């Protein structure tokens, strides 16, 4: 809700800052650590970095496609690109 407020007010950098706070990652790493130990948590963190390029493709796709295709289609295409790149990356690693 805070992200939506700042974004709709034209404060996109502040909205992204709030959205990118690593709360979900923090919770996930903690639960993995407590369930599986240090090795599992480190493996998860490495996998986040490995899949970062796929996420960047998703973000760039939204940036380029949103003005041309509208919200729904740009999201569908960008998520499809993310999934393809992520699955390809996972197969190659």
40-83 pLDDT, tens per residue?
999 999 999 999 999 999 999 999 999 999 999 999 999 999 99
pTM of the complete model: 0.80
**CA 80 to mean position of chain CA atoms:** 13
Provide the pLDDT for residue 53: 97
Cα dihedral: 4, 17, 85, 37 (round 10): -110
Helices 23-36, 38-50: axis angle to 10 degrees equals 140
Domain span including residue 77: 51-93
In the block, tokens 């998703």 appear at: 58
Residue 78 and residue 60: Cα distance in Å, rounded? 8
Question: 3-class DSSP state for residue 10?
Answer: coil
Check whether residue 74 and residue 38 sit in a common domain. Answer: no
44 and 57 both lie in a single domain: no
Count of domains forming the chain: 2
Q: Indicate whether 42 and 61 sit together in one domain.
A: no
Q: With 90 as the cut, is the pLDDT of residue 1 above it?
A: no
């Amino acid at each position: 809700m805070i992200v939506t407020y700042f974004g709709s007010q034209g404060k996109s950098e502040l909205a992204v800052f709030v959205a990118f706070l690593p709360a979900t990652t923090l919770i996930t790493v903690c639960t993995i650590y407590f369930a599986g130990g240090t090795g599992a948590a480190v493996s998860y963190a490495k996998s986040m970095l490995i899949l970062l390029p796929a996420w960047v493709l998703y973000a760039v796709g939204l940036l380029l496609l949103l003005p041309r295709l509208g919200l729904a289609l740009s999201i569908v295409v960008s998520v499809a690109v993310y999934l393809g790149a992520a699955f390809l990356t996972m197969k190659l690693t």
